[in-house]
Amino acid sequence: MTAGTIGVPHAATAFMTTPGHELWHPDPEFYYRTGGGPLLDMGPYYLTALVQLLGPVDRVVGLASRPAGTRTIGNGPRAGTAFDVEVDTHVTGVLQHVGGALTTLVMSFDAWATRMPRIEVHGPGGSLSLPDPNYFDGTVEVFPAGADAWRAVPPSSGYVTAGRGIGIADLARGLADGTPHRASAEVALHVLDVMESLLEAARTGEAETVASTCTVPAAVPGLVDLRAG
């Protein structure tokens, strides 16, 4: 869809911002310990979508910050309990994809609200606006070159009313059809490598090369409605 609609993409943006999980989670400390933080928590959804749209990433630069050293639980029986923050909670970076496209990425637990799009992809023929990849559903919009408004793009492939667990359905179909499934270990490893490389770039202040790569999974051929059996 991307190449056919807007041409070969040259840039993208991806934004995930929230004021912090301690506002709703009764035991949120693990989000703020080693292995947590906004990038490792929510980045897999966004980066997997970006890799599928733009291809693997080979180089990253980034910076990160930790505006608050402590947080306070706001919900549940432990409400009012303060705890230490061990990881950076605002991460911003630029990803260089193998094909040359550049993605600007912001992952934050330090923003109360935003009007920034979840993901946008830009090419010579226009721009695409994509819904929150954490929900696996939503409307894709396109703004063609020379247009005066966004318009919805009717779905032409993929799983209708997709949601969490759709990867298991895709795995089952792949085993039945003898074709590769799309939530592969290869893609997962590459996404993790990109995230760890970005955190290292933020730590050192230097650009980091991403050692791994992956094959971009093929699009689902046509629409598949699992409700129809």
| 3-state SS track over 165-183 | CHHHHHHHHHHHHCCCCCC
Task: Report pTM.
Answer: 0.94
Mean pLDDT, to the nearest integer, of 136-163? 91
Residue 3's pLDDT is 45
Quick check: is 213 in a domain?
no
Domain count, the chain: 1
Distance CA 164, CA 135 (A): 7
Structure tokens at 225: 């409605």
For residue 22, what are the domain limits?
Answer: 2-208
> Is residue 75 scored above 70 in pLDDT?
yes
Mean pLDDT, to the nearest integer, of 125-149? 94
> Is residue 1 scored above 50 in pLDDT?
no
Quick check: is 34 in a domain?
yes
**CATH code at position 88:** 3.30.360.10
Q: How far is CA 202 from the centre of its chain?
A: 18
Quick check: is 214 in a domain?
no
Quick check: is 77 in a domain?
yes
Interacting residues of 54 by C-beta distance below 8 A, sequence separation 6+: 2, 9, 12, 97, 99, 101, 103, 121
The upper half-sphere exposure of residue 76, i.e. CA atoms within 13 Å in the direction of its Cβ, equals 12
Quick check: is 228 in a domain?
no
Query: Which residue carries 């039945």 as its tokens?
Result: 176
